[in-house]
Structure 1
Amino acid sequence: MTRSDLSSHFDNLVRFETELWTAIDQKLRTEHDLPLSRFEPMQIIGRLGSCRVFDIAEALAITVGGTSKLVDRIESSGHCRRQSNPADKRSSLIELTPEGNALLGRAKATFDDELERRLGSALTPEALDRFGAALATLREVNRRLTPATKEKS
């Protein structure tokens, strides 16, 4: 494989991610007034039930500072709340409000439908499994090659 092949794969991967993000973001904004940047942390909060900013940042592979700002926006919209963490007074526990849970449920259905339309309909289940496995492998290798700068919050 030549460097130009790798460059082409990089271009396709990044452009596809950008196009997919934009399409799903637009769909969520139009149907639920919920940007994808808020939907993703809400999914993690919903899945974990109660979590710290650090837990969301780690799951999304973004900074704690950026995650904290996202949580601030979700909280100001009334979709989550923070409460004191009894195990660690330096951090808060975040949970979805009833309104946030309801919105997440509606938005999740839209999100899943759009993923099916844009990914599931384009690849066979086997090809999609291979694609997912390849992405997981690439992410793991990339994590090992990237110096860890863990922040706790």
Structure 2
Amino acid sequence: MTGSDLSGHFDNLVRFETELWTAVDQRLRIEHDLPLSRFEPMQIIDRLGSCRVFDIAEALAITVGGTSKLVDRIESSGHCRRQSNPADKRSSLIALTPDGIGLLQRAKSTFDDELARRLGSALTPEALDRFGATLATLREANRRLTLITKEKA
């Protein structure tokens, strides 16, 4: 594959991600007053149960500092709460509030519907499975390269 082919794939991937993010974000904001940037960490908190900022950051592949600010915003809106971590006094455990759980449940239906409109209507289930597997392979390869680069630094 030539460099220009890779560049074109990169462009399509990044532009599609931006367009998809914008569409899903807009719908969540309109229907639930919930930006996608808060929805995603709330999903992780819900999936993990009580968790740390570090756990959310790792799951989202973003910085701990950025994640902490997101959690601050979610907490100030009343959708999660922090409690001291009995296993590590330097960190807090984060859990969704009942209001946060209700909002997330309502928003998840909207999220799923928009993804079905944007992805499920364009690709067969088999093609979606292949696409998902390809993305997972690329993410894993990128993680390995990142680790190798960090080890050399």
Distance in 1 (CA, whole Å) between partners of 2:109 and 2:139 is 27
> What are structure 1's unaligned runs of at least 5 residues?
none
What's the RMSD between the two structures over aligned residues? 1.4
CA gap of 1:103–1:149, structure 2 versus 1, over 3 A, is: farther
Partner residue in 2 for 1:85 = 85
Partner residue in 1 for 2:144 = 144
Give the deviation of 1:148 after TM superposition: 7.8
Give the deviation of 1:49 after TM superposition: 1.2
CA gap of 1:39–1:146, structure 2 versus 1, over 3 A, is: same
SS at match of 1:62: coil
Q: Percent identity?
A: 89
Structure 1 residue ranges (4+ consecutive) displaced by more than 2 angstroms after TM superposition: 147-150
Partner residue in 2 for 1:67 = 67
Partner residue in 1 for 2:42 = 42
Distance in 2 (CA, whole Å) between partners of 1:80 and 1:19 is 28
Give the deviation of 1:78 after TM superposition: 0.2
Distance in 1 (CA, whole Å) between partners of 2:144 and 2:100 is 35
TM-score normalised by the chain length of structure 1 = 0.96
Matched residues, number:
150
Partner residue in 2 for 1:3 = 3
Partner residue in 1 for 2:105 = 105
Instruction: Give 1 or 2: higher helix fraction.
Output: 2
Letter aligned with residue 78 of structure 2: G
Distance in 2 (CA, whole Å) between partners of 1:149 and 1:132 is 26
1:34-85 CA-partner distances (Å, limit 9, x unpaired): 0000000000001111100000000000000000000000000000000000
